[in-house]
Structure 1
């Protein structure tokens, strides 16, 4: 088992939540604008199947799901901005997750379900910055976060680091995310992750931890 600080805790359904970051077609579906760049890593780690398995297990265990979406692109999003980032400018030029288009819709099996919380869209990499994520988590009594989704070394990492700064317990799932290169995955989980994440697991390591909760709930 791979951990950065400790073995996984018992994820209490009243205190733990799954953060699913950016489950958009442009990231996760054949024909998506960034899928060709992500596919080699995503397919190597069987990411789509792992995302399905982890999100299903979390639901069955009674954990609340928080969908943490990136801003849906519109033309001239950053016109007049003083300091748009290179990532923002490139995303705007490509119209990644364009509002009203297929790429900016949820991959169907990862769409929000009744009881899920869809957080306000984030403009850069952190799901917390200028959104209601922290408020929503605290109002639901959440203290422990399991993060999955896209992309490992940008939105997942930045959201996870922000969560730690705010006092949350953070678990990363190394094969329920992908990146544009194997080097970026290595940096996210083997170099940067152990400096802040409380636990780093594979999907195969996480699922047995959630299964006892399913038995408790049933």
Structure 2
């Protein structure tokens, strides 16, 4: 693996790191709990964020829309997933579930993109602008879910001209089949690197000794 991660060019995209996904009691935590435990996801997320911060790699928070009563009532074609999210008030605004996990709070210098309503963090948000205005060409994508928001954000990132890295053990899905489809079948068609946390940390360390 020869990819380097120059902090001037690289951003770490933290996708939907909400309590509803990552914490006991979260509305979607049961969806990912088993796979997240199998691959040590939470600790790997912590390691990657800590390593990126130490190396001077910018942290970008890529948040899903925080649900509010009345969402999608005026939409002509909301998707079944969107309607389910609205019904369950997943990531509800001004609630614990719709807050970032304690280990992934916004820190000074971080960028928080505007919220995405569907899967990808790019359409109808300022994410592309916020990356390009700071000269970021490479994006490392971590977070949830592997086969929805992570994949959609990474795929469109490639379409927009970014170098895309995925991290196998820094994501999860509702099933092993969904995880395999996202990382082993779909990802090789668009991602430039598909690494483990250990491989990513080593690559960052080689680029910018920590």
Quick check: TM above 0.5?
Answer: yes
For residues 129 and 201 of structure 2, the distance between their equivalents in structure 1, rounded to whole angstroms, comes to 28
Deviation, 1:188, is 0.4
Q: How many aligned positions are there?
A: 210
Q: Which residue of 2 aligns with 1:85?
A: 79
Question: Mind listing any 5+ residue stretches in structure 2 that lack a counterpart?
Answer: none
Matched, 1:37 2:57: no
1:60–1:214: 8 Å Cα contact kept in structure 2?
no
Structure 1 segments, 4+ long, off by >4 Å, are: none
Q: Work out whether residues 6 and 208 of structure 2, in 8 Å CA contact, stay in contact via their aligned partners in 1.
A: no
Q: Would you say 1:52 and 2:46 are equivalent positions? A: yes
Equivalents in 2 of 1:8, 1:182: separation in Å? 29
**1:136 equivalent in alignment to 2:130:** yes
Find the counterpart in structure 2 of residue 4 from structure 1. Answer: none
The secondary structure found in structure 2 opposite 1:65 is strand
Instruction: For residue 155 of structure 1, give the secondary structure of its aligned residue in structure 2.
Output: helix
1:8–1:199 contact (8 Å) kept in structure 2: no
Aligned-pair distance for 1:210? 1.2
Q: Tell me the CA shift for residue 180 of structure 1.
A: 0.7
Q: CA deviation at 1:134?
A: 0.4
Q: Is the 2:146–2:171 contact (alpha carbons within 8 Å) kept by the matching residues of 1?
A: yes
Partner residue, 1:96 = 90
Q: What is the TM-score normalised by the length of structure 2?
A: 0.98
Counterpart for residue 108 of structure 2: 114
Taking the aligned partners of 2:16 and 2:199, their CA distance within structure 1 comes to 23
Give CA-to-partner distance per residue, 1:140-190, whole Å, 9 cap, x none: 100001000111000000001110110000000011011111111000000
Superposition RMSD in Å: 0.9
Instruction: Give 1:98 shift.
Output: 0.3
**Residue 24 (structure 1) aligned with residue 40 (structure 2):** no
Separation of aligned partners in 2, 1:104 and 1:176: 20
TM-score by length of 1: 0.94
Gaps of 5+ in 1: 1-6
